[in-house]
Amino acid sequence: MNDKVTALLDTYRNKGIEFTAEDLDYFETLWNRLTIEFDVLEDSALRSVESTIKTRKGITSSLPSVPDDADDLAISPIEKIGNCAKMEPVAVRVKMVKLFPPNHPRMAQVGIIGDATGTCKVTTWKNAANPEPFVEGKCYEIQWANVDFYNDRVQLITTQAAVKPWNEDIQVKRTDRDTLTGFITKVLSAGMVNRCPVEKCRKPLTVCAGGYFCTDHGIQQQSIPDLRARVILDGETARIVYLNASVLEDLTGFSVSDAEEIVRSQPVGGLFAVEKRLHDLIFGRALMVHSTPMNEQAFAQDAAFITSPGVA
Ligand SMILES: [Zn+2]
C-alpha cells in the first residue's frame, strides 16, 4: 500500500473506523488504477480515495436537525438541487426509479430518484428517524431531505426526511447512469507508456541508461508497451473518462503494435507522433461510453463513436 494512502487510512483508523482486507484491496486497486494506469496526480488520486473511503464506510457529515414546527419547503426541481449548499434542506416530488442493494451495513436504502428535470442518487442511512422505506416505481413528496455532494455529484440524504406518497405519476427524464454520452472536448493525455514487466507491478517506466527504470523494481531490460488516454467527455455534465488500450483499439483501430511500429520507425519523435495520432483520432468526436461502476470514476469498459450525444 502506498504511504500516502496508508497515512490517510490511519487518520480514519484514529477516528475508530475499521477496514477489512477487502476494503484495503479496493482502495489499493483504485489508487493503482488512478496513479499507475492513468497517471493521475497523487493529490487528486488521494482525494478520490478519500471520498471512496467515506462512501464505502458510510461516513457522512452530521445532519442538521429539523425544527419541530417545520413548515413544508417549496418543491425544488432535481436539476436545481446541485446549486444548493451542502446539507441544505430541500423538498422534491419524485419517482423512485431504481433501488440498489446497499453496499454498507449502515445504509438503509440507496437508489435513484427522478423528476421531469433529471435524476440523482438518494441515500438513507440507518437511523431512528428513518422514514418508511421507498418502493421502486412509486412516487413521493420528500420534505427536509439534505443535499450532499460526493466526487462533485449531487445526492440527497433522506435519513431524517419527511416522506409521503404522492398519488400522481411523475415523468422522469431518461438518463442511464452507466452510459455516458458527449463530445470529447479535451484530450488531457493520450499516448504510449512502457510498463514494468514484474508481475502485478505495471508501473510506468522511465528510460534510463541500461534499460528502463521502475521506482519499485529498479532497472528492467524489458518493458510492456501500453496505450491509454484520459479525456473530458462533455455531455449532460463534463466527466473525466479513462480509455485503456483495448477500448482505444476498438474505437479507432489504432493498436499498441501500431504505436510500437511508429516508435520503431521514428526513433526521434515517435512517442510524440503516437500522441498526435491518438489525439487526432478521438478529439472532437461524439462518444458513448459504458463505464464500470468503480467509484465515480468513469473507466470505459467499451465505447463507440456516435453521430451526436443524445442519439445513443
Ligand atoms: Zn515494477
Same domain, 103 and 161: yes
Question: How much distance in Å is there from the Cα of 29 to the middle of ligand 1?
Answer: 15
| 70 belongs to a structural domain | no
| 174 belongs to a structural domain | no
Same domain, 128 and 82: yes
| 85 belongs to a structural domain | yes
Q: Express each pLDDT in 14-31 by its tens digit.
A: 888 889 999 999 999 889
Same domain, 145 and 187: no
Question: How much distance in Å is there from the Cα of 68 to the middle of ligand 1?
Answer: 60
Report how far apart, in Å, the C-alpha atoms of 33 and of each of 44, 45, 111, 212, 235 are.
13, 9, 27, 21, 24
Same domain, 154 and 216: no
How many domains, in total, are found in the chain? 3
Task: Give the orientation angle of helix 21-32 with respect to helix 3-13, to 10 degrees.
Answer: 140
Q: Express each pLDDT in 158-182 by its tens digit.
A: 988 889 999 999 998 865 456 788 8
The residues pairing with 219 across neighbouring beta strands, listed in sequence order, are 213
Q: Which three cell numbers stand for residue 255?
A: 493498436
Domain membership of residue 150 as a residue range: 78-165
| 171 belongs to a structural domain | no
Q: Cβ distance 299 to 242 under 8 Å?
A: yes
The residues pairing with 289 across neighbouring beta strands, listed in sequence order, are 180, 303
Question: How much distance in Å is there from the Cα of 214 to the middle of ligand 1?
Answer: 5
Question: How much distance in Å is there from the Cα of 275 to the middle of ligand 1?
Answer: 24
Q: What share of the chain is helix, strand, coil (3-state, %, to 5)?
A: 25, 35, 40
Which H or E element spans position 188?
strand 179-195
| Higher-pLDDT residue of 293, 284 | 284
| 68 belongs to a structural domain | no
Q: Express each pLDDT in 102-114 by its tens digit.
A: 767 788 898 888 9
pTM over 0.85: no
Chain-centroid distance of CA 60 in Å reads 18
Question: How much distance in Å is there from the Cα of 129 to the middle of ligand 1?
Answer: 51
| Higher-pLDDT residue of 145, 176 | 145
| 170 belongs to a structural domain | no
Question: How much distance in Å is there from the Cα of 215 to the middle of ligand 1?
Answer: 7
Same domain, 190 and 300: yes
Same domain, 240 and 277: yes
Helix (H, G, I), strand (E, B), or coil: what is residue 290?
strand
Location of C-alpha cell 456516435? 306
Average pLDDT over residues 124-129: 82
Chain-centroid distance of CA 198 in Å reads 28
155: domain CATH number is: 2.40.50.140
Q: Cβ distance 237 to 193 under 8 Å?
A: no
| Ion ligand 1 nearby residues (CB, 5 A) | 196, 198, 201, 203, 214, 216-217
| 240 belongs to a structural domain | yes
